[in-house]
Amino acid sequence: MVAQRLEIDEATIRNWRKEHPEFNRAFTEAREILMEKVNSVAGKSLDVRKRKTVTSTPNGVKTTIEEVLPTHNDVAVFAKSLGLGHSVYGEDDRKRDVLREVMKEKIAGKYTALEAAQLLEAEGIKVPETLLIELDTPKKIQLSGPNGGPIQHEDMTDAQLLEALKEIGYGRHKNQLEEKLDHSGGV
């Protein structure tokens, strides 16, 4: 918003703040003072106000007095009067904060990559490329033998296989193995 007022690019202000510590300090102090003013006046406009409504009816004039709560517009009008032109905390700020919070929770282990992506999409926030890459990366599955060693295997003749299968019962049905062997041309 400062860049808009000065009619310069926001990148210029960011660069000045990085390169000139005194400018950064002055910029930060001015921003804090402005935020205090906004909060102070916004706090005063949070009081309940009274609104008087006068209506004409066939029975005469009717006057109604009602209490009115402040609206978001109250803050927006004040911000505009300061030359800010828009709300101090806008949709982009909200999305940035949600993104930061969801990613922090994901890193802490509260959300999986998929859950984090779903939360961001539900909020209308573009899912970061790093999260998309994590979702696309297949998880390694490692099979191993006893005590994490290699899987043991040995070659068997058809006769040895038939004998081993007889020991375990041929499968669920006694004729199951025989049918397979008949169709495959095996023993």
d(C-alpha 30, C-alpha 80), whole Å = 17
Q: Is there a contact between 186 and 160 (Cβ–Cβ < 8 Å)?
A: no
Candidates 168, 106, 9, 16; CA nearest to 117 is: 106
The pLDDT mean for the chain works out to 78
Q: Is there a contact between 132 and 113 (Cβ–Cβ < 8 Å)?
A: no
Going 179 to 180 to 186 to 187, the CA torsion angle's sign is negative
Q: Is there a contact between 52 and 63 (Cβ–Cβ < 8 Å)?
A: yes
Confidence band for 47, pLDDT divided at 50, 70 and 90: low
Q: What is the pLDDT of residue 32?
A: 80
| pLDDT surpassing 60 at residue 48 | yes
Cβ-Cβ contacts under 8 Å for 31 (sequence gap 6 or more): 2
Distances (CA, A) of 185 to 44, 61, 137, 180: 92, 103, 42, 9
More confident residue, 140 or 27: 27
The predicted-structure confidence for 1-16, as pLDDT tens digits, reads as follows 677 777 888 888 888 8
Q: Enter the pTM of the model.
A: 0.33
The predicted-structure confidence for 123-156, as pLDDT tens digits, reads as follows 889 999 999 888 887 766 777 888 888 888 888 8
Q: What is the pLDDT of residue 126?
A: 92
- H helices within the chain, ranges in order? 2-6, 10-19, 21-44, 72-81, 91-107, 113-122, 129-136, 158-168, 176-184
Q: What is the pLDDT of residue 81?
A: 58
